[in-house]
Structure 1
Amino acid sequence: MNKKVIFFEVEGGTDKGPDGYRPDTMPMVEALKQRGQDAEVLFFDNAKKQQIFDYVKEHGAAYVSRINPGNLQHEEEYFAMLRELCQVGVMGMPHPDAMISYGSKDVLSKLIATNLVPDDTFAYYTIEAFKAQFPTSLALTERVLKQNRGSTGEGIWRVKLVEPLAEGMTEVPLDAQIKCTEAKDNHVEYWSLGDFMTFCEPYITGLNGMLIDMRFLPRITEGEVRLLMLRNHPVHVVHKKPANTEDAFSATLFSGAQYRYDSPEDWQELVENFLSQLPQVTSLLGGYDLPLIWTADFMLDTDEAGADCYILGEMNCSCVGFTSELTLAHQVAEEILACLQEQSTVVSPS
């Protein structure tokens, strides 16, 4: 039996076209069919989870997850079903735990052993750890705090002291005044450090709550660089330049950033370094196969020798869209077929 590639979607959400599907899903289905590989779309419904599992176990060679987590009410149940499918031999694109590892903001703290992330990057999973470390971090340099939840810059704050500390101080007092700029729209708020840390506590509590604390990189004004990856192949580069205003550091379209699309060859140094780090990245993030479609965002920095270097800001593989480049569907189809071929080579008898 020629098993199918199953694309998972969920009904509803702002990411759907007039036909009810994500605009980039059916082009992938059609591209696979043109190459002789059967494929179809299933809508995940938690009430029909067992029925869906049984069908995919019987008929699926692989699944491709095309569900935006923001549109998914039963994420834990969905991920549990995907884990079971992987356990019974259906190829996960990606495995649900890879989705979590690559998509969580604490990917940064997990990758400080690479040259992609500064070693003064911290993850806070408890309010106590946040209160103990952040006043010391802020004493060293301007910081960026990133919540794990939220999107489009919500809950990502650039934090700067209004007045410099007295010489010799290694911890910012809780009554010190700070200037906080949110990446969502680059608006500015002024707080005392203690009050702002209390305000941030809800980012840490609750399911998957945590904060990342990393050094602010002033060269973000030169733009953020996003690599769009198909497994280990860079496909194109998006250069996202923040708005040209005093406090702007956000690279979201909503905040007025300008986007430019380049080829990977235009960013050869960045691409070569990132690809050289991928074996270590996959090992540090759980040893799962690289996601099918994913992104890595970088910011420019200057190393100790005065040369350009690139710092990882975040990665995403939950449901990376390519609606502005639908011709990529053919490359994705080829990559899916390559994955299936690799799997059949591994499991077939020698």
Structure 2
Amino acid sequence: MNKAIVVFEVEGGSDKGPDGHRKDTMPIVNSIKDAGWHAEVVYFHPDKADEIFDTVSKNFDAYISRVNPGSIPGGEKGYMTLLTKLADAGLVGMSTPADMMAYGAKDALVKLNDTPLVPEDTAAYYDVESFHNTFPTSLTYGERVLKQNRGSTGEGIWRVRLADADLAKSVEPGSKLPLDTKLKCTEAVDNKTHDYTLGDFMDFCDQYIIGDNGMLVDMRFMPRIVEGEIRILMVGDEPVFIVHKKPAAGGDSFSATLFSGATYTYDKPEAWPDLLEMFDKARPVIASKLGENDNVPLIWTADFMLADGEDGEDTYVLGEINNSCVGFTSELDMGIQEKVAKEAIRRAEAKNA
């Protein structure tokens, strides 16, 4: 056993500080060293993939990926191939490409739509034909939210509703809207509303389906999103903190990203006892439906929206899970990097026990 963990990054990108690293990378590295293990950063480049594999596979017990998939030089394929090869060679992958896809892909919601976490009418479109055939009917049941598989900060996440309020009230659920139906479509990235016809909007959205790992998730709009989105940040099985992300007030705002003007409030997990109790029961279900061997990622988040229960009580609806490169630069004073280091070492030791 080498007692060593490598942390992968890529050069450049808006998430880097003056030292060329993500602001949460070196705190993780230093915390691993403080725990008595070796740790270092390796920058991935597709031209050096074979060299990196040879060095890392011989000298490290595990890797931690701190790479935003959208910033990988040469695209994702080479990087994901390297991570898969390292996992196959016996390294503990945090996370493996399989975990990234299982937890990070938007259709994780579809895999959970038979649980209380997600509305049962949540669906995914993997080809243009099924999208064009089904969405005109889906929209007759009420406002919908379409989510592309890739993108960040609300890019490609659309709130879609009928422009004619009277039509929205009178349309027969289960019927099929004509392609010239007028829509109001608001993108989460900036909360700006655009006018489309149904046909033109679906043609526009085809870009999200075409290509590798392309898909659109279709779920009902949750009106209480205006009260905020509640994010739980997890290190393994431990809730570390909760962020209450409240959209900017007024207009069509529903996005809970900082870029769109949302405000963030950071709480300790115990400040949300009902949510924590529900999520504690749900975690084994999430792990069994999404992960391999019931494992959860090293660092991951679950975002929830408030909804009304049958008796008027507050309930929580899962809106998204993230795990590819969850950042916590604003919360370093909470000691999260130490928890990450401890859990990473625990997993590496367990694999080599």
How far has the Cα of 1:286 moved from its partner? 4.0
Counterpart in the other structure of 1:21: 21
Would you say the 8 A contact 1:94–1:290 is kept in 2?
no
Counterpart in the other structure of 1:81: 82
Determine what percentage of the aligned residue pairs are the same residue: 55
Counterpart in the other structure of 2:142: 141
Would you say the 8 A contact 2:6–2:42 is kept in 1?
yes
How far has the Cα of 1:167 moved from its partner? 5.3
Amino acid at match of 1:104: A
SS of the residue 2:324 aligns to = coil
SS of the residue 1:260 aligns to = strand
Counterpart in the other structure of 2:197: 192
SS of the residue 1:29 aligns to = helix
Would you say the 8 A contact 1:124–1:210 is kept in 2?
yes
**Partners of 2:171 and 2:62 in 1: how far apart?**
60
TM-score by length of 2: 0.94
How far has the Cα of 1:131 moved from its partner? 1.4
Gaps of at least 5 residues in structure 1 are 346-350
Amino acid at match of 2:264: Y
Amino acid at match of 1:161: L
**Partners of 1:2 and 1:58 in 2: how far apart?**
9
The answer as to 2:303 corresponding to 1:297 is: yes
> Which residue of the other structure, out of 206, 211, 216, is the alignment partner of 1:206?
211
Counterpart in the other structure of 2:105: 104
Which consecutive segments of 4 or more residues in structure 1 shift more than 6 A?
none
Counterpart in the other structure of 1:51: 51
TM-score by length of 1: 0.95
**Partners of 1:133 and 1:26 in 2: how far apart?**
47
The answer as to 2:342 corresponding to 1:334 is: yes
SS of the residue 2:83 aligns to = helix
Counterpart in the other structure of 2:318: 312
**Partners of 2:191 and 2:29 in 1: how far apart?**
39
**Partners of 1:341 and 1:125 in 2: how far apart?**
39
Counterpart in the other structure of 2:331: 325
Would you say the 8 A contact 1:231–1:291 is kept in 2?
yes
SS of the residue 1:251 aligns to = coil
Counterpart in the other structure of 2:93: 92
**Partners of 1:263 and 1:148 in 2: how far apart?**
30
Deviation digits for residues 163-184 of structure 1 (CA, Å, limit 9, x no counterpart): 2334546222222111111111
How far has the Cα of 1:106 moved from its partner? 1.0
Deviation digits for residues 130-167 of structure 1 (CA, Å, limit 9, x no counterpart): 11211111101111111112211111111111223345
Amino acid at match of 2:46: N
> What's the Cα RMSD here?
1.4
Would you say the 8 A contact 2:140–2:172 is kept in 1?
no
**Partners of 2:67 and 2:341 in 1: how far apart?**
18
Would you say the 8 A contact 1:8–1:42 is kept in 2?
yes
How far has the Cα of 1:343 moved from its partner? 2.2
SS of the residue 2:153 aligns to = coil
SS of the residue 2:12 aligns to = coil
**Partners of 1:143 and 1:285 in 2: how far apart?**
24
Further displaced range: 33-42 or 162-171: 162-171
